[in-house]
Chains A and B, each alone.
Chain A
Amino acid sequence: MTVVSSHRDPERLTLAITSEFAAPPARVWQVWEDAQQLSRWWGPPTWPATFTRHDFAVDGRSHYYMTGPEGEHAYGAWKVTDLAPPHRLVFTDAFADADGEFLDDPAPMRIEVSIEDGGPGSRMTVTTHFSSLEHLQQVADMGMEEGMTLALGQIDGLLAEPASV
Protein backbone atom coordinates (compact mmCIF):
# COMPACT_ATOMS: atom_id res chain seq x y z
CA MET A 1 0.00 0.00 0.00
CA THR A 2 1.37 3.34 -1.03
CA VAL A 3 -0.66 5.28 1.51
CA VAL A 4 1.31 5.19 4.75
CA SER A 5 -1.00 7.13 7.06
CA SER A 6 -4.09 9.25 7.23
CA HIS A 7 -5.41 11.56 9.88
CA ARG A 8 -8.90 13.00 10.29
CA ASP A 9 -9.32 16.06 12.44
CA PRO A 10 -13.03 16.68 12.92
CA GLU A 11 -12.43 19.77 15.06
CA ARG A 12 -10.59 21.51 12.25
CA LEU A 13 -12.51 19.84 9.44
CA THR A 14 -9.38 18.49 7.85
CA LEU A 15 -8.16 15.24 6.43
CA ALA A 16 -4.45 14.56 5.87
CA ILE A 17 -3.18 11.64 3.82
CA THR A 18 0.50 10.70 3.58
CA SER A 19 1.85 8.43 0.90
CA GLU A 20 5.26 7.32 -0.33
CA PHE A 21 6.58 6.92 -3.85
CA ALA A 22 9.67 5.34 -5.37
CA ALA A 23 10.59 8.52 -7.22
CA PRO A 24 12.32 11.76 -6.24
CA PRO A 25 10.23 14.84 -5.33
CA ALA A 26 11.01 16.49 -8.68
CA ARG A 27 9.34 13.58 -10.48
CA VAL A 28 6.31 13.46 -8.15
CA TRP A 29 5.91 17.19 -8.69
CA GLN A 30 5.31 16.54 -12.38
CA VAL A 31 2.12 14.58 -11.76
CA TRP A 32 0.72 17.85 -10.41
CA GLU A 33 2.42 20.18 -12.86
CA ASP A 34 1.70 18.37 -16.11
CA ALA A 35 -1.99 18.63 -17.07
CA GLN A 36 -1.84 15.41 -19.04
CA GLN A 37 -0.53 13.40 -16.11
CA LEU A 38 -2.87 15.18 -13.70
CA SER A 39 -5.85 14.26 -15.84
CA ARG A 40 -4.91 10.62 -15.44
CA TRP A 41 -5.33 10.52 -11.67
CA TRP A 42 -7.42 13.43 -10.35
CA GLY A 43 -10.86 12.04 -11.14
CA PRO A 44 -12.23 8.94 -9.45
CA PRO A 45 -12.29 5.87 -11.73
CA THR A 46 -15.98 6.37 -12.50
CA TRP A 47 -15.53 10.12 -13.15
CA PRO A 48 -12.24 10.64 -15.01
CA ALA A 49 -11.04 14.23 -15.12
CA THR A 50 -9.87 16.27 -18.09
CA PHE A 51 -7.93 19.48 -17.43
CA THR A 52 -8.63 22.05 -20.13
CA ARG A 53 -6.52 24.78 -18.57
CA HIS A 54 -3.66 24.45 -16.10
CA ASP A 55 -1.90 27.67 -15.24
CA PHE A 56 0.44 26.24 -12.66
CA ALA A 57 1.73 29.41 -10.99
CA VAL A 58 0.74 31.56 -8.01
CA ASP A 59 -2.70 33.04 -8.76
CA GLY A 60 -2.96 30.71 -11.74
CA ARG A 61 -6.24 29.03 -12.59
CA SER A 62 -6.97 25.50 -13.67
CA HIS A 63 -10.19 24.31 -15.23
CA TYR A 64 -11.35 20.75 -15.53
CA TYR A 65 -14.37 18.65 -16.10
CA MET A 66 -15.16 15.13 -15.04
CA THR A 67 -17.10 12.76 -17.21
CA GLY A 68 -19.69 10.57 -15.54
CA PRO A 69 -20.92 7.12 -16.46
CA GLU A 70 -23.70 8.58 -18.63
CA GLY A 71 -21.33 10.94 -20.40
CA GLU A 72 -22.43 13.91 -18.28
CA HIS A 73 -19.90 16.59 -17.25
CA ALA A 74 -19.20 18.06 -13.81
CA TYR A 75 -16.99 21.16 -13.87
CA GLY A 76 -14.36 22.14 -11.32
CA ALA A 77 -11.63 24.74 -10.97
CA TRP A 78 -8.50 25.45 -8.96
CA LYS A 79 -6.78 28.64 -7.98
CA VAL A 80 -3.16 28.25 -6.91
CA THR A 81 -2.29 30.34 -3.83
CA ASP A 82 1.23 29.16 -3.07
CA LEU A 83 3.76 27.16 -5.01
CA ALA A 84 7.39 26.22 -4.37
CA PRO A 85 8.59 23.49 -6.76
CA PRO A 86 9.08 20.65 -6.08
CA HIS A 87 8.04 20.71 -2.44
CA ARG A 88 4.97 22.77 -1.74
CA LEU A 89 1.64 23.50 -3.45
CA VAL A 90 -1.44 25.18 -1.99
CA PHE A 91 -4.63 25.69 -3.96
CA THR A 92 -8.37 26.07 -3.63
CA ASP A 93 -10.68 23.73 -5.44
CA ALA A 94 -14.39 24.22 -6.08
CA PHE A 95 -17.30 23.47 -8.28
CA ALA A 96 -17.31 25.74 -11.31
CA ASP A 97 -19.46 26.64 -14.28
CA ALA A 98 -18.52 25.52 -17.79
CA ASP A 99 -16.24 28.58 -18.12
CA GLY A 100 -14.26 27.64 -15.03
CA GLU A 101 -15.71 30.36 -12.79
CA PHE A 102 -16.09 29.26 -9.16
CA LEU A 103 -19.68 28.85 -8.10
CA ASP A 104 -20.51 30.90 -5.00
CA ASP A 105 -21.66 27.95 -2.98
CA PRO A 106 -20.22 26.01 -1.45
CA ALA A 107 -17.04 27.87 -0.54
CA PRO A 108 -13.91 26.30 -2.03
CA MET A 109 -11.90 23.80 -0.06
CA ARG A 110 -8.20 24.44 0.49
CA ILE A 111 -5.73 21.73 -0.35
CA GLU A 112 -2.10 21.77 0.79
CA VAL A 113 0.44 19.44 -0.72
CA SER A 114 3.93 18.83 0.62
CA ILE A 115 6.46 16.60 -1.11
CA GLU A 116 9.67 15.76 0.75
CA ASP A 117 12.58 13.35 0.41
CA GLY A 118 11.68 10.23 2.36
CA GLY A 119 10.71 6.58 2.28
CA PRO A 120 11.66 4.91 -1.01
CA GLY A 121 12.06 8.32 -2.70
CA SER A 122 9.39 10.83 -1.72
CA ARG A 123 6.85 11.30 0.96
CA MET A 124 3.76 13.30 -0.07
CA THR A 125 1.19 14.69 2.36
CA VAL A 126 -2.10 16.11 1.08
CA THR A 127 -4.26 18.00 3.57
CA THR A 128 -7.83 19.05 2.71
CA HIS A 129 -9.44 21.84 4.75
CA PHE A 130 -13.14 22.63 4.70
CA SER A 131 -14.38 26.05 5.77
CA SER A 132 -17.28 25.20 8.07
CA LEU A 133 -19.74 22.54 9.05
CA GLU A 134 -22.39 24.51 7.15
CA HIS A 135 -20.16 24.24 4.13
CA LEU A 136 -20.07 20.52 4.63
CA GLN A 137 -23.82 20.44 4.82
CA GLN A 138 -24.08 22.28 1.49
CA VAL A 139 -21.49 20.10 -0.08
CA ALA A 140 -23.38 17.06 1.09
CA ASP A 141 -26.57 18.44 -0.37
CA MET A 142 -24.81 18.58 -3.69
CA GLY A 143 -23.89 14.95 -3.42
CA MET A 144 -20.20 15.46 -2.95
CA GLU A 145 -18.69 12.60 -1.18
CA GLU A 146 -16.07 14.72 0.45
CA GLY A 147 -18.58 16.85 2.20
CA MET A 148 -20.34 13.90 3.58
CA THR A 149 -17.31 12.21 4.81
CA LEU A 150 -15.87 15.22 6.54
CA ALA A 151 -19.05 16.06 8.39
CA LEU A 152 -19.10 12.48 9.37
CA GLY A 153 -15.60 12.80 10.77
CA GLN A 154 -17.35 13.96 13.91
CA ILE A 155 -19.10 10.67 14.14
CA ASP A 156 -15.87 8.87 13.64
CA GLY A 157 -14.59 10.65 16.75
CA LEU A 158 -17.58 9.36 18.65
CA LEU A 159 -16.91 5.84 17.55
CA ALA A 160 -13.43 6.09 18.99
CA GLU A 161 -14.92 6.59 22.44
CA PRO A 162 -15.73 3.60 24.60
CA ALA A 163 -19.14 2.25 23.77
CA SER A 164 -21.60 1.17 26.34
CA VAL A 165 -23.62 -1.03 24.08
Chain B
Amino acid sequence: MYNLMVVDYDVATDRIFGALADVTRRDILTRTARAPESVSGLARHYAMSFAAVQKHVAVLERATLVTKERRGREQLVRADRETLHRAAELLQAYEQLWEQRVDAIADILSEEGTPS
Protein backbone atom coordinates (compact mmCIF):
# COMPACT_ATOMS: atom_id res chain seq x y z
CA MET B 1 0.00 0.00 0.00
CA TYR B 2 2.94 2.26 0.21
CA ASN B 3 2.93 3.54 -2.90
CA LEU B 4 5.59 4.42 -4.71
CA MET B 5 3.24 4.91 -7.57
CA VAL B 6 3.92 7.44 -10.09
CA VAL B 7 3.14 10.70 -8.50
CA ASP B 8 5.74 13.35 -8.75
CA TYR B 9 6.75 14.14 -5.28
CA ASP B 10 8.67 17.32 -5.13
CA VAL B 11 9.47 20.38 -3.13
CA ALA B 12 6.22 22.01 -4.17
CA THR B 13 4.22 19.15 -2.70
CA ASP B 14 6.25 19.33 0.47
CA ARG B 15 5.37 23.00 0.80
CA ILE B 16 1.69 22.28 0.30
CA PHE B 17 1.70 19.84 3.21
CA GLY B 18 3.65 22.19 5.41
CA ALA B 19 1.22 24.98 4.64
CA LEU B 20 -1.78 22.80 5.43
CA ALA B 21 -0.40 21.61 8.76
CA ASP B 22 -1.65 24.72 10.55
CA VAL B 23 -5.26 25.41 11.53
CA THR B 24 -5.08 29.17 10.88
CA ARG B 25 -3.66 28.63 7.42
CA ARG B 26 -6.34 26.10 6.60
CA ASP B 27 -8.93 28.64 7.73
CA ILE B 28 -7.36 31.38 5.60
CA LEU B 29 -7.46 29.01 2.65
CA THR B 30 -11.12 28.21 3.26
CA ARG B 31 -12.05 31.89 3.44
CA THR B 32 -10.08 32.95 0.39
CA ALA B 33 -11.44 30.04 -1.64
CA ARG B 34 -14.89 31.53 -1.06
CA ALA B 35 -13.90 35.10 -1.85
CA PRO B 36 -10.69 37.13 -2.02
CA GLU B 37 -9.93 39.04 1.13
CA SER B 38 -7.37 41.63 2.17
CA VAL B 39 -4.71 40.75 4.72
CA SER B 40 -6.16 43.29 7.13
CA GLY B 41 -9.63 41.83 6.59
CA LEU B 42 -8.28 38.35 7.35
CA ALA B 43 -6.48 39.62 10.44
CA ARG B 44 -9.79 40.65 11.99
CA HIS B 45 -10.85 36.99 12.18
CA TYR B 46 -7.98 35.87 14.37
CA ALA B 47 -6.70 36.68 17.83
CA MET B 48 -3.22 37.39 16.57
CA SER B 49 -1.25 40.30 15.23
CA PHE B 50 -1.47 41.58 11.68
CA ALA B 51 2.17 40.58 11.25
CA ALA B 52 1.43 37.00 12.34
CA VAL B 53 -1.41 36.73 9.82
CA GLN B 54 0.87 38.20 7.18
CA LYS B 55 3.38 35.43 7.89
CA HIS B 56 0.73 32.74 7.50
CA VAL B 57 -0.29 34.25 4.18
CA ALA B 58 3.36 34.26 3.09
CA VAL B 59 3.62 30.50 3.85
CA LEU B 60 0.51 29.84 1.79
CA GLU B 61 1.89 31.98 -1.00
CA ARG B 62 5.17 30.05 -1.11
CA ALA B 63 3.18 26.84 -1.36
CA THR B 64 1.31 28.44 -4.26
CA LEU B 65 -1.97 27.83 -2.47
CA VAL B 66 -2.85 31.52 -2.57
CA THR B 67 -1.90 34.48 -4.72
CA LYS B 68 -1.76 38.13 -3.73
CA GLU B 69 -2.69 41.04 -5.90
CA ARG B 70 -2.54 44.70 -5.16
CA ARG B 71 -5.78 46.61 -5.24
CA GLY B 72 -5.38 50.25 -4.31
CA ARG B 73 -3.71 50.36 -0.94
CA GLU B 74 -4.57 46.78 -0.12
CA GLN B 75 -3.25 43.35 -1.00
CA LEU B 76 -6.03 40.95 -1.90
CA VAL B 77 -5.42 37.29 -1.08
CA ARG B 78 -7.14 34.60 -3.10
CA ALA B 79 -6.89 30.81 -3.13
CA ASP B 80 -5.12 29.44 -6.18
CA ARG B 81 -7.61 27.16 -7.87
CA GLU B 82 -4.96 25.56 -10.02
CA THR B 83 -2.99 24.26 -7.05
CA LEU B 84 -6.20 23.12 -5.43
CA HIS B 85 -7.16 21.20 -8.52
CA ARG B 86 -3.75 19.56 -8.74
CA ALA B 87 -4.21 18.46 -5.15
CA ALA B 88 -7.63 17.05 -5.90
CA GLU B 89 -6.09 15.07 -8.74
CA LEU B 90 -3.62 13.46 -6.35
CA LEU B 91 -6.50 12.52 -4.10
CA GLN B 92 -8.21 10.87 -7.02
CA ALA B 93 -5.04 8.90 -7.67
CA TYR B 94 -5.40 7.26 -4.28
CA GLU B 95 -8.91 6.18 -5.10
CA GLN B 96 -7.62 4.78 -8.35
CA LEU B 97 -5.22 2.58 -6.43
CA TRP B 98 -8.20 1.02 -4.67
CA GLU B 99 -10.12 0.75 -7.91
CA GLN B 100 -7.20 -1.22 -9.33
CA ARG B 101 -7.16 -3.47 -6.30
CA VAL B 102 -10.88 -4.08 -6.54
CA ASP B 103 -10.59 -4.90 -10.24
CA ALA B 104 -7.76 -7.34 -9.51
CA ILE B 105 -9.93 -9.01 -6.84
CA ALA B 106 -12.83 -9.27 -9.31
CA ASP B 107 -10.48 -10.96 -11.79
CA ILE B 108 -9.40 -13.51 -9.21
CA LEU B 109 -13.02 -14.20 -8.27
CA SER B 110 -14.04 -14.74 -11.88
CA GLU B 111 -11.47 -17.45 -12.51
CA GLU B 112 -12.78 -20.95 -12.93
CA GLY B 113 -11.63 -23.63 -10.63
CA THR B 114 -10.76 -21.25 -7.82
CA PRO B 115 -11.78 -22.93 -4.59
CA SER B 116 -14.93 -21.46 -3.14
Chain A residues at the B interface, C-beta cutoff of 8 Å: 1-3, 6, 8, 15, 17, 19, 21-24, 26-28, 30-31, 37, 40-42, 44-47, 66, 68, 74, 76, 93, 95, 109, 126, 133-134, 136-137, 140-146, 148-156, 158-159, 161-165
Contact = CB atoms under 8 A, between A and B. Distances in A.
A154 B1 contact: no
A contacts with B: majority SS? mixed
B104 interface: yes
Contact of B33 (A21, A30, A148, A163): A163
Interface residues of B, number: 51
Given A22-B109, A126-B98, A158 B29 contact: yes
Contacts of A24: 116
Contacts, number: 160
Nearest to A145: B3
Interface of B: 1-7, 9, 13-14, 16-18, 20-21, 26, 29-30, 33-36, 78-79, 81, 84-85, 87-88, 90-95, 97-106, 108-110, 114-116
A150 B20 CA distance: 12
A26 B74 CA distance: 65
A31 B109 contact: yes
A17 B91 contact: no
B58 to A, nearest CB: 19
